[in-house]
Chain A
Amino acid sequence: MFTYILRRLLRMVPTLFAISIMVFVIIQLPPGDFFDSLQAQLAESDSQADQEAFDALRQQYHLDEPLWKQYLYWIGGCLVGDFGYSFEWRRPVSELIAERLGLTFLMASGALIFMWLVALPIGIYSARNRYSFGDYFLTFLAFIGLCVPGFVVALVAMYISVFWFGGSAGGLFSPDLKYAPWNLAKVWDLLKHLWVPVVVIGAAGTASLMRIMRTSMLDVLDEQYITTARAKGLAERWVIYKYAVRVAINPMISILGLQMPQLVSGSIIVAIVLGLPTTGPLFYRALETQDMYLAGTFLMLLATLLLLGNLIADILLAWADPRIRLD
Chain B
Amino acid sequence: MAKPMRQPEIDRNESERIYTAGQWQLAWRKFKLNRLALISGAVLGVMYLLTLLSGFIAPYEADHRFSGRDFVPPQGIHFLSDQGGHLRPFVYGLKPAFEEASGRKIYVRDRTKRYPIRFFVEGDAHRFLGFDARLRLFGIQAPHEGVFLFGTDRQGRDLFSRVFYGARVSLTIGLIGVFISVVLGSVLGVVSGYFGGWVDELLQRTIEILRAFPQIPLWMALSAAIPPDIDQLKTYFMITLILSFLGWTSLARQVRGRVLSLRNEEFVLSVRLMGGSHSRVIFRHLIPAVLGHIIVIGTIAIPQMILAESALSFLNLGIRPPMTSWGVLLQDGRSLTTLYYYQWLLIPAAFIVVAVLCFNFLGDGLRDAVDPYSRP
Contacts and interface: CB of A to CB of B under 8 A. Distances in A.
Interface of A: 15, 18-19, 22, 26-27, 29-31, 143-144, 146-152, 155-156, 158-159, 162-163, 169-170, 261-262, 264-266, 268-269, 272-273, 283-284, 287-288, 290, 295, 298-299, 302-303, 305-307, 310
B176 to A, nearest CB: 20
Contact of A18 (B209, B218, B317, B330): B209
A302 B310 CA distance: 23
Contacts of B352: 148-149, 152
Contact of A15 (B209, B217, B225, B357): B209
Contact of A143 (B213, B227, B360): B360
B308 to A, nearest CB: 9
Contacts of B211: 306
Contact of B353 (A147, A155, A159, A305): A147
B217 A162 contact: no
B363 to A, nearest CB: 12
Interface stretch (B78-86, B153-161, B178-186, B334-342): B334-342
Given A155-B339, A158-B336, A265 B217 contact: yes
Contact of A302 (B205, B217, B224, B336): B217
B311 interface: yes
A111 to B, nearest CB: 15
Q: Give the 3 A-B CB pairs with smallest separation, nearest first.
A: A29-B225, A265-B214, A287-B224
A283 B330 contact: no
- Mostly, the A contact residues are helix
B333 interface: yes
24 contacts: A15-B208, A19-B213, A22-B209, A22-B213, A26-B222, A29-B225, A30-B227, A143-B357, A143-B360, A146-B356, A146-B360, A149-B314, A151-B330, A261-B214, A264-B214, A265-B214, A265-B217, A268-B216, A269-B314, A272-B315, A298-B217, A299-B218, A303-B213, A303-B214
A155 B218 contact: no
B216 A307 contact: no
A19 B216 contact: no
B217 A144 contact: no
B215 interface: yes
A146 B300 CA distance: 12
A266 B220 CA distance: 12
B247 interface: no
**Most chain A beta-carbon contacts within 10 A, residue among B220, B333, B346:** B220
B307 interface: yes
Contact of B227 (A18, A31, A302): A31
B221 interface: yes
Interface residues of B, number: 39
Nearest to B312: A269
B2 interface: no
Contacts of B310: 149, 151
Nearest to B225: A29
A227 B94 CA distance: 69
B356 A147 contact: yes
A306 B213 contact: yes
Interface string B317-340: 100000000010010011010011
B353 A268 contact: no
A148 B339 contact: no
A299 B340 contact: no
Interface in B192-230: 205, 208-209, 211-218, 220-222, 224-225, 227
Contact of B360 (A147, A264, A284, A306): A147
B303 A147 contact: yes
B346 A155 contact: yes
Given A27-B221, A155-B333, A302-B213, 14 more contacts: A15-B209, A26-B225, A30-B224, A30-B225, A30-B227, A143-B361, A149-B311, A149-B349, A152-B349, A261-B214, A266-B216, A268-B220, A303-B214, A306-B211
B314 A299 contact: no
Contact of B221 (A150, A155, A158, A299): A299
A273 B334 contact: yes
B215 A265 contact: yes
A265 B349 CA distance: 22
Contacts of A273: 334
Contacts of A299: 213-214, 217-218, 221
B242 to A, nearest CB: 10
B209 A268 contact: no
**Most chain A beta-carbon contacts within 10 A, residue among B205, B217, B339, B361:** B217
Nearest to A307: B212
Nearest to A150: B311
Contacts of A261: 214
Interface in B96-154: none
Contacts of A307: 212
Nearest to A29: B225
B340 A303 contact: no
A303 B334 CA distance: 29
Contacts of A147: 303, 307, 353, 356-357, 360
A50 B357 CA distance: 55
A287 B212 contact: no
B222 A144 contact: no
Nearest to A279: B217
Interface string B29-65: 0000000000000000000000000000000000000
